[in-house]
Structure 1
Amino acid sequence: MRRTELGLWIAVAVVLAGLAVPWFLWGSGTVVASLPVWLWWHVGWMGLASIVFWVFTRRAWGIGIDRTGPDSSATPPGAADGTRKTNSRGESP
């Protein structure tokens, strides 16, 4: 399941990147609302890309990252003995 989802997100990223530049509008002199149509394409595409990235961060952030690597068993300094250092507000540095 995760492999299929990873493949789908890769395909979405390739399509978003591939159509970010409106190559099919090159040479077009069409103007809509006093702006060239290629500029409207860019504005709309960036809006779509923003929405897709937001969905990605909510559903699949971290997909494809191996959590069982050699450093996965390492504990942060001070975590094992409870002596983790904090600043005056109680936050870790």
Structure 2
Amino acid sequence: MVSRVEGYGWWMTFTVLIVLAVPWFLWGVDRVVVGLPVWVWWHVGWMALASLCFRLFARRAWGLGIEGASE
């Protein structure tokens, strides 16, 4: 069972990940780093961060918002 505070923390974490999924602030930037546009590197970093968050979520809070819903 996940505590209420931890549950709010997970909701905030995933909200931030969703907001940062599209790099609005990089639109129109044509800078290239190591042969790829900066926005591609943003997505590489975002996917790595999202996968780490999901792994931690799967280990600690799997079922958050589902368990107890039928009670």
TM-score of the superposed pair, with normalisation by structure 2: 0.89
Identity %: 55
In the alignment, does 2:62 pair up with 1:61? yes
Instruction: Calculate the aligned-residue CA RMSD, in Å.
Output: 1.5
TM-score of the superposed pair, with normalisation by structure 1: 0.69
Q: State the match for 1:33 in structure 2.
A: 34
Q: What is the aligned length? A: 69
Greater helix share, 1 or 2? Answer: 2
| 4+ residue runs over 6 A deviation | none
Q: State the match for 2:5 in structure 1.
A: 4
User: 2:9 and 2:40 mapped to 1: Cα distance?
Assistant: 28
- 1:51 alignment partner AA: L
Unaligned segments of structure 1, at least 5 residues = 70-93
Residue aligned with 2:28, SS: coil
Higher relative contact order (CA 8 A, sep 6+): 2
